[in-house]
Amino acid sequence: MLDTNDVAQRFRGRSEVRSGVIRRRRWSAAEKGRMVAEAVAPGAVIAQVARRHELTPQHLSNWIRAAKQGRIALPADEGVVFVPVVAEQGGTPPVAGRSAIEIISGSIVVRVHSGADARTVETVLRVLAGR
C-alpha cells in the first residue's frame, strides 16, 4: 500500500501555485531585446532569467534564436551583438585540412581554426571590440 504522506513529503516545496486570470502577454521589441541581452550576458542562466520575467526557458530561447537571425534587436548599450556569418568563395585554404573562419576588424584579421579554445577567441575578440 502506498502512503500518500510519504509521496507528499518528497515533493514538498517543489510546487508553485498560481492563481488569478491567466492571459496572453505581449512584449514590445525593446522589452524582448532587453530580456535576450540579459539572458546572453556572460554568466547568465537562461532558466533564471526566464523565471524572473515569468517566461518559460523555451520561450526565451526562441527569442535568442530570433535575435541571432536578426529578427529581434538588442539594446545598443549592452554591448552584445550577433553578427551574421558570410561565406566567401575562394580565400586562403585551411591549414592542414582544418576549417577556419576569418574575423576582420579594420586592418586586423583574426583567423580562428576549428578546435580553437573558445575562451582565448573570446578574449581576443573582446580586446578587438575595446580598441
- Tell me the per-residue pLDDT of 40-84, one tens digit each, with 9 for 90 and over: 988 999 999 999 998 999 999 999 999 888 888 877 654 555 666
Please state the domain extents for the chain: 26-82, 95-130
For 21-39, what is each residue's pLDDT tens digit?
556 788 898 899 999 999 9
Residue 58: its pLDDT value, please? 94
Which of 97 and 102 is assigned the larger pLDDT? 102
For 104-120, what is each residue's pLDDT tens digit?
777 778 888 877 888 88
SS3 letters across the chain? CCCHHHHHHHCCCCCCCCCCCCCCCCCCHHHHHHHHHHHHCCCCCHHHHHHHCCCCHHHHHHHHHHHHCCCCCCCHHHCCCCCCCCCCCCCCCCHHHCCEEEEEECCEEEEEECCCCHHHHHHHHHHHHHC
